[in-house]
Homo-oligomer: A and B are copies of this chain.
Amino acid sequence: MNYSQIFCEYLKKHDLKNTTERLTVLQVVLAMDKHFDVESLIDRLKSQQKKISRATVYRTMELLVDCGLVTKHRFGENGRVYEPKSERDNHDHFLCVSCGKIIEFYDPEIEGIHQRLCERFGVEILDYSHQLYGKCNKCSG
């Protein structure tokens, strides 16, 4: 089942309408670079003569996040950054404060930490954010 199908099912399940704007946004999102902000997405839409308002783009990103096709981040002081989510691609981010490079990594111990937290406090974790900031190998020293 591909992204469009998943999105359409999600829309149907929630009694939301299957509009061309929503589908177009999804198509263009999938063709974006790994981490992108809403401005770049809007620029891309414009450059492809798709006229979709800023409001609709924001509204649609909300839906894409909610249905699990896209994840939303906040890196540093900047605004939101999105990235399409693929199955079993769970990772955290290192951001170089000098050159802006982003390194994605996965360390299974993060789940151990979360597991222990749940047991210790009886909480239920729905989401998390974990970012590291520093100098990449090219920028340090």
A residues sitting closer than 8 Å to B (CB atoms) are 74, 94, 96-97, 103, 105, 107, 109-110, 112-114, 116-117, 120-137, 140
Enumerate chain B residues within 8 angstroms of A140, measured Cβ to Cβ.
122-124
30 A/B residue pairs, CB under 8 Å, sorted by A:
A94-B121, A94-B123, A103-B123, A105-B117, A105-B120, A105-B121, A107-B113, A107-B116, A107-B117, A109-B109, A109-B112, A113-B113, A114-B132, A122-B136, A122-B137, A122-B140, A123-B132, A123-B134, A123-B135, A123-B140, A124-B135, A125-B132, A126-B133, A126-B134, A127-B132, A127-B133, A127-B134, A128-B132, A129-B129, A129-B131
A113, A116, A126: most-surrounded residue (chain B CB, <10 A): A113
Chain B nearest Cβ from A68, distance in angstroms? 15
